[in-house]
Chain A
Amino acid sequence: MRAEHINPFIESVYELFNTMLQGKVERGPIGVSSGNDSPRDIMAIIGISGPTRGTIAIGFPAITALSMVGRILGTPVTVIDETVSDGVAEIVNIVAGSAKAKLNTDASRPLDLSLPTVVYGDKYDVQYPSKAVWLEVPFTSDLGDFNLRVTFETVPQ
């Protein structure tokens, strides 16, 4: 996985902020994630399958998740509950869906998204498959900080 492979996902985050979130976002430097540090309260995860397969995860501190879901709904959200879980799942779904259209140049071999999964808690580790390289990008925004992690590989035809 090369660093530029994460660019469609970064672009999708910007699109999300320019449209549904109507906010400002800035990305930090792209790095390699070890998976052993999970300083986030909520992580939304989704898989891509097909000629390219991989996983996309967005980690949010609770305050960011509340702000982002509140902005989407147009009403303040103050408690981490099913609505917030549902909202962050939709956020990762939108980011991954938008990016996969940019990644996929072969119309005869479409990419498919899994249904998103949401993990809560600040004490979890993510155990990656041994050969997987995860790229990580931190973001700052007017709705709070969050990070994006992506790993994928191209499956030979």
Chain B
Amino acid sequence: MKALVVDDSGVMRKVLIGALGRANITDVDQAADGKEAVDAVLAAEYNLVLMDWNMPNMLGIDAVRAIRASGKTMPIIMVTTEAEKGRVMDALKAGANNYIIKPFEPNTIVSKIQEVLAKAS
């Protein structure tokens, strides 16, 4: 099981890597913006992507669109401060499978990861 964590905040990437560890996912790559994420997804196989929205170079939602356009079907969870209903709908329409709004409780994100992976298997 291999995951990609995409966030321009190194602190948030560490938090998310910790959550993945508690969900027994320890093989994790990191990307600091949407462009790096797309490059990583095209170069390797991932079982899960956690994607921020607001990042330099390429927004997370544009990265989701690019990943889906490339034919990749792994689950993508948006993990973002963008909490408006319209933004959630936009992300789901772009191809995200689930949505976690920051701030989150540490346990919430672990159970959401497990739920998304169970649905995908």
* Cβ–Cβ < 8 Å partners of A98 in chain B: 81, 83, 101-103
Question: Which residue, A21, A82, A86, A115, has most C-beta atoms of chain B within 10 A?
Answer: A86
Q: Is A73 an interface residue (CB 8 A)?
A: yes
* Cβ–Cβ < 8 Å partners of A100 in chain B: 83-84
With an 8 Å Cβ cutoff, the count of chain B residues facing the other chain is 25
User: Closest residue to A97 on the B side, CB-wise?
Assistant: B81
With an 8 Å Cβ cutoff, the count of chain A residues facing the other chain is 30
Whether B103 contacts A93 by the Cβ 8 Å rule is: no
Among B47-89, those with CB < 8 Å from A are 54, 56, 80-87
Whether A19 contacts B83 by the Cβ 8 Å rule is: no
Q: Is A137 an interface residue (CB 8 A)?
A: no
User: Closest residue to A15 on the B side, CB-wise?
Assistant: B103
Among B65-121, those with CB < 8 Å from A are 80-87, 101-106, 108
**Contacts A/B (CB < 8 Å), 18 sampled:** A19-B103, A19-B104, A20-B105, A20-B106, A22-B105, A72-B15, A73-B11, A86-B11, A90-B9, A93-B102, A96-B81, A97-B82, A100-B84, A101-B83, A107-B84, A110-B84, A110-B86, A115-B54
Minimum-distance CB pairs A-B, first 6: A97-B81, A101-B83, A19-B103, A107-B86, A87-B11, A90-B9
